[in-house]
Amino acid sequence: MLKSIDVLMVGVGGQGTILASRVLAQAAQAAGYDIKVSEIHGMAQRGGSVVTQVRLGEKVYSPLIVKGGADVLLAFEKLEALRLLSYLKKDGVLIVNDQAIDPVPVLVGAAEYPPDIPEYLCTTVPGTLVFDATEIAGRCGTAKAANVVLLGAMARRLPIERAIWEKALAERVPAKLLEVNQAAFAAGYELG
């Protein structure tokens, strides 16, 4: 019997959250899981929140994860991690890109970007993994592959074989970008 796993991916428009969720769904399906996916795009074209919920299991009846129900929270931006932290289980896995993207209230001067988010997350959730996926992706060839670095870090913690992940990545990423994304996935996998 396959263990049920609920993954919440959060970021902002343009960070590749949707692509990462589709690679996860494809890898999980190839590994024999039933899957349900839900996507919420909040003004994604203008840097708004993007939230995807991916539920895996023997049989999944709903795509929605309840608060306190996510086994994994994968955050592409640290304020989004803080904003949706209530969805993570008490013993859940939290992986966060140490990147700040100012939301509109910060851009217009109506609010201040919260300081010390990584410290708060690490104190609140033992075992939290925070790293600069954007910088790592840049070393692999393009900062745009930060989503795949994060995906690689999460992949190592899920019960799906690495070869299945790599095949799903190859099927979802355009051929001309595959090599850099393979390097980004490998870099993230080593961190996870």
Domain locations in the chain as residue ranges = 3-189
Rounded to whole angstroms, the Cα distance separating 2 from 31 reads 10
pLDDT digits (tens, 9 = 90+) for 159-178: 999 999 999 999 999 999 99
| pLDDT band at 14; cut points 50, 70, 90 | confident
Cα R_g (the chain), whole angstroms: 16
Query: How do beta strands 49-57 and 5-12 pair?
Result: antiparallel
Residue 44 has pLDDT above 60, yes or no: no
CATH architecture of 3-189: 3-Layer(aba) Sandwich (3.40)
User: How far, in Å, are 113, 156, 174 from residue 54 at the CA level?
Assistant: 28, 17, 23
Average pLDDT, integer, range 90-101: 96
Nearest to 135 by CA among 126, 122, 144: 144
Q: Are 99 and 132 in contact (CB under 8 A)?
A: yes
Rounded to whole angstroms, the Cα distance separating 121 from 136 reads 21
| pLDDT band at 45; cut points 50, 70, 90 | low
pLDDT digits (tens, 9 = 90+) for 114-162: 999 999 999 999 999 999 999 999 999 999 999 999 999 999 999 999 9
Amino acid at 105: P
pLDDT of residue 43: 60
Please state the φ and ψ torsions of residue 140, each to the nearest 5 degrees.
-80, -15
- Per the DSSP assignment, residues forming a β-bridge with 118 are none
Between 47 and 29, the more confident residue is 29
Question: Residues 147-162, buried b or exposed e (16+ Cβ, 10 A)?
Answer: bbbbbbbbbebbebee
pLDDT of residue 13: 87
Average pLDDT, integer, range 178-183: 97
Mean pLDDT value across the chain: 94
Amino acid at 177: L
30 Cβ contact list (under 8 Å, min separation 6): 164, 167, 168
